[in-house]
Each structure stands twice: as structure tokens, then as C-alpha cells.
Amino acid sequence: MPHALIAGGGLIGLLTAREVRARGFDVTVVERGACGREASWAGGGILSPLHPWRFPDAVNTLAAHSQAIWPGLAETLRERTGVDPEYRPGGMIVIDEDDPDEVRAWAERQRVAATPLARGQLTAMVAGLRPPAGHCWLLPDIASIRNPRLLRALIALAVGEGVSVLEQTAVTGVAHANGRAIGLDTAGGRIDADAVVICTGAWSAGLLGGLGAEPPGIRPVRGQMLAFAPPPGLLERIVLTEGHYLIPRADGTVLAGSTVEEAGFDATPTTSARAELFDAATCLLPALSEVPVRAHWAGLRPGSDDGIPTIAPHPALAGLWVSAGHFRNGIVTAPASAGLAADLVAGRKPALDPAPYRWPPAAAARPTPAGD
């Protein structure tokens, strides 16, 4: 059986490992810390791009294919591992959207439901929300997932399916000879492989330097979140406004996100972000000001200028692929990204057109999303 190494045990690496395994490879995930503790753990778990009409088709295509996979995947995770990742198809309310034509055109093009909401309908749906200043929409088919539980379940599922996981093992470089990747160099020595996939999120560009092609421009973009602990029932749907959102969990927890900060590889939460998130959340839903804040954390998104991940073979080294740069949409787009990467590794005709995710991202040819 050919052996594939996946560098990075975040959501992208773990799902890719499963898919590559399903295509007939012996697979090992090499993770420098513990799997699923970086961006994939820190994320909000909204299974949609925020304001999806502002994103290029390449992102929405990955999202749409993944949205069809998520309900079954969440059920498999729950059934086979006993850990419920809390897939919640409660819908997303978007308030203060100033371009209703753009929303309508996107919904028609993507064939998804988007219902305009009058102020009375909005109040009936979310009691206590501050009065909106602009157009409001309900996207009824948008779901969310609870990241830490998702990752816990996924690690168990992947291992149960035969994926090997090597934690506390930092990858230091890609081993290569005669124009071919032959494995990974790690802090614990070299591991040989027939195929290597780099899924190290925000840290990917560093591992891809010096290999005969300019690495994709992936950089860390810090995001911070707060968790409020109200009694169950305060909020039942995701609410999104310009720059901020609230996400309800099954036990009543409300997450408030998020910041978008260029802070290098510093994932320390800051008091200024805490104040910003608290103010935005309590302005949106004033009842939250009476509620304790249970947690505050930060994660490093794998940022890319256009928000489009690179899922592609390395142009100079055979046997090497990358799947990274999912930026703000790495949770929603993960299942389809994993399927595409695995098809490429296995030399199968991909189910998705790989062209938009090619290496290096031809940023000039791609539309840039405004905002999120």
C-alpha cells in the first residue's frame, strides 16, 4: 500500500487524511502539538461564508459542495464516536445588509433560500435584538457546528478508520530527491513516504519555502472570540451584522466573534479585543450585558489575499501537494477541500474543478472579496 504523510492535524489535515485513506493509502498525520488545537479549534463553526455574496465563486463552490456533505458527516461522527459535534441547522439572520439586489442575485445564482425579513418578523424570531438599521435576511439553511467537539470526534473517527496520528512531532521540512518529495523531515527524524500533503494552516508557507517554487502567500490572521454563558434559550439562530456575529450552542452558550488582526504568529488574546467583542455583542443583543463571559480565546487563520485556498500539486516537486489558505472559511469548506486534495493525490479525476485552487494563486485573475 502506498504511504501518504499529512503534515498538520487541523480540520483540513484530518479530513484530508480520511479521504486519502479511503483512496487506498496508508496514512500518517504528523502534528507538532496535539491535533485540532489551533484555528480549527478556535473557529466559530458557522457552516457558511459570512455574507457569502461577497466571496468569489471558488469559495462558494467549495462551501456548497461541503454543505451537502456536512449533515451526513456530522451524523457519522456522532454515531461512530459517541461525541456529538452539534450540527445545528438553525439558519442565519443577516442584519443591516445594504445591498439587497446583491443578496437576491447570489441566492438565485446559488439556488439557495434567502428570505427578506421585515422588522416585526425579525423581532419575533430573535427577542431583544437591537433594531436594525438596514435590510435583514434569513438564510434558513445555514447550520453551525461546535468546533472542539467536532475535532474530538474527528480524531477518534480517523484513527478508528486506520489513520495513524503522530503528535508532538514538528515537521521541519519536506525531504526530496531527484525532483520528487520522498518524505518529511521532523524533529524526531525523517519519515519516508510516497505522497506528502502540507495542511499546516497558517504555518504552511514556511514549510514550502526553498522547494523550487514561490510558496502560496498564506499568512496568519488572528481572530478572537468570546463565549457568554446565558441560560438556554436566549438565542437560537446565528445573527450576523457588519463585522460581528453571535452563534448559539445547544447548551445556551453564545459565541461572539470575531476580530481580524494582522499580528504575526502571536495568538495571545488581548484586552482591547475583549472590549471590542463585548461591546459589539451587547449592542446587538443587550441582554448579554447581564450574562457572564465564560471564555475568551484567539486563533490564527490561514489567511490568503483572496480567501481562496490553494489545493494543488507542487509545481516543482512530484509527490507533494498542499491544502491550505482557507482563511475565514476553513470549517465550512473542509469536506470538499479534503475530497479534492485526495482525488489529486490519488491521481483520480477530481469531482470538483481544481483550476480555481491551483498553485500559485493567480491573485490578479481572481476577484477580491470585499469585507469578510
Spatial separation of the C-alpha atoms in residues 181 and 75, rounded to whole Å: 36
Residue 68 grid cell: 451537502
Contact present, 328 and 372 (Cβ < 8 Å): yes
Contact present, 356 and 308 (Cβ < 8 Å): yes
Residue 321, Ramachandran bin (φ over 0: left; ψ between -120 and 50: alpha; else beta)? beta
Q: Which stretch binds ligand FAD (CB under 6 A): 8-16, 77-85, 95-103, 274-282?
A: 8-16
Q: With binding defined as CB under 6 A, does residue 299 bind ligand FAD?
A: yes
- Find the binder of ligand FAD among 27, 171, 317, 342 (CB under 6 A): 171
Contact present, 356 and 61 (Cβ < 8 Å): yes
- Find the binder of ligand FAD among 301, 344, 359, 366 (CB under 6 A): 301
DSSP-assigned letter for residue 349: P
Total site size for ligand FAD, rule CB under 6 A: 43
- Find the binder of ligand FAD among 5, 12, 62, 157 (CB under 6 A): 12
Residue 263, Ramachandran bin (φ over 0: left; ψ between -120 and 50: alpha; else beta)? alpha
DSSP letters of 185-221?
EETTEEEE-SEEEE--GGGHHHHHTTSSSPPP--EEE
Give 116's strand partners: 137
Q: With binding defined as CB under 6 A, does residue 205 bind ligand FAD?
A: no
Minimum distance from residue 225 beta carbon to ligand FAD (Å): 5
Residues 207-236 that bind ligand FAD (CB under 6 A): 207, 223, 225
Sign of the alpha-carbon torsion through 208, 210, 213, 214: positive
Task: Give the residue with the Cβ less far from ligand FAD, 81 or 204.
Answer: 204
Instruction: Give the position of cell 518524505.
Output: 183
> Which amino acid makes up residue 62?
L
Q: Which stretch binds ligand FAD (CB under 6 A): 29-37, 71-79, 123-131, 268-276?
A: 29-37
Of 76, 143, 57, the residue nearest 331 (C-alpha): 143
**Phi/psi at 344 (5° precision):** -65, -45
- For helices 334-346 and 11-22, give the axis angle rounded to 10 degrees: 40
Residues 332-371 that bind ligand FAD (CB under 6 A): 332
Task: Give the residue with the Cβ less far from ligand FAD, 7 or 139.
Answer: 7
Q: With binding defined as CB under 6 A, does residue 45 bind ligand FAD?
A: yes
- Find the binder of ligand FAD among 125, 170, 293, 352 (CB under 6 A): 170
> Quick one: how far is CA 150 from the chain centroid?
12
Q: Which stretch binds ligand FAD (CB under 6 A): 18-26, 51-59, 81-89, 202-210?
A: 202-210
Residues 232-261 that bind ligand FAD (CB under 6 A): 257-258
> Quick one: how far is CA 63 from the chain centroid?
10
Minimum distance from residue 72 beta carbon to ligand FAD (Å): 18
- Find the binder of ligand FAD among 4, 6, 25, 44 (CB under 6 A): 44
Residues 74-133 that bind ligand FAD (CB under 6 A): none
Task: Give the residue with the Cβ less far from ligand FAD, 133 or 220.
Answer: 220
Q: With binding defined as CB under 6 A, does residue 199 bind ligand FAD?
A: yes
Minimum distance from residue 363 beta carbon to ligand FAD (Å): 18
Q: With binding defined as CB under 6 A, does residue 51 bind ligand FAD?
A: no
Reported as type and span, the H/E element at residue 18 is: helix 11-22
Q: Which stretch binds ligand FAD (CB under 6 A): 25-33, 90-98, 283-291, 362-370?
A: 25-33
Which positions touch ligand FAD (CB under 6 A)? 7-13, 30-33, 37-40, 42-46, 170-171, 199-203, 207, 223, 225, 257-258, 299, 301-302, 324, 326-332
